Amino acid sequence: MPLEVERKYLNVDFAALRLALGGLGARNLGAHFESNWVFDTPDARLFASGRLLRLRLQEWPGAMRHVLTLKLPAAQNERFKTREEHELEVADNAVMRAVLEGLGYTVGARYEKVREPWLVEGVEVALDTLPFAAVVELEGEAGRIERLAARLGLDRAETSAKSYHQLHQEWRRLHKLPPDISFVFDAEQRRRCRRELGLANTEQPGGGPGATVGA
């Protein structure tokens, strides 16, 4: 049973973290742009049951990857987010989307981020740039996450086991903004992010209103 175990770290200095990762011999797996579509039934049964059905497009210069993911309800844990996860790489994003829509699912929400993943000591360290925050996410075995966090100095940072959707809603409440289930870069932000990654500045296709996200 594949389990996703992760913890997020907030307000981290990315430049200092990169130096610390380099000092431990971490391997940079290549920063990329992510576009995510979250699917649900018209009456949001997946969200109500704590499940997430997501189609993701990852883009690197000269390469892209499409991944379909099903996440089952997360275990209750204040220190880590743990949930069963199943992933399948697919050949064509548009065809997979058509299959899902043919089965009665609709796009409930969209979200984007730039992810810079590193691998060290059996833990993936992701430096995530989102439209509303910069967050570090560690994924691996719980004990390894704690040991690596201490070595990287992340044990002094604010931690969270919340999803990006939950963090986004908190950010919107803090800034007195109405709820919004999607979080995508505006056109200028997207162009800048893609230019820095060496990607073509293409607009991403939109998604309709609906359920919610649980990244």
DSSP-based three-state secondary structure for 201: coil
- Neighbour-count burial of 60, counting CB atoms closer than 10 A to its CB (0-12 exposed, 13-18 middle, 19+ buried): middle
- Please state, in angstroms and rounded to a whole number, the distance separating the CA atoms of residues 71 and 49: 11
Higher per-residue pLDDT: 121 or 210:
121
Q: Which two tokens stand for residue 163?
A: 């999803």
Place of tokens 């275990």: 75
Percent of the chain, pLDDT > 70? Answer: 93
Using the Cα atoms of residue 11, residue 6, residue 186 and residue 171 in order, give the sign of their dihedral: negative
Q: Topology of 3-196 in CATH? A: Hypothetical Protein Pfu-838710-001 (2.40.320)
Backbone angles phi, psi at 177, to 5 degrees: -105, 150
Which region among 12-26, 52-66, 68-82, 111-125 has the lowest average model confidence (pLDDT)?
Answer: 68-82
Whether the predicted pLDDT of 131 surpasses 80 = yes
Give the predicted TM-score (pTM) of the model: 0.91
Return the number of other C-beta atoms located less than 10 Å from residue 177's C-beta.
11
Domain ranges of the chain: 3-196
pLDDT category of residue 67 using cuts at 50, 70 and 90: very high
Per-residue confidence (pLDDT) for residue 207, from 0 to 100: 46
Which region among 31-35, 48-52, 75-79, 176-180 has the lowest average model confidence (pLDDT)?
Answer: 75-79
**Mean pLDDT comparison of 70-74, 79-83, 186-190, highest-scoring range:** 186-190
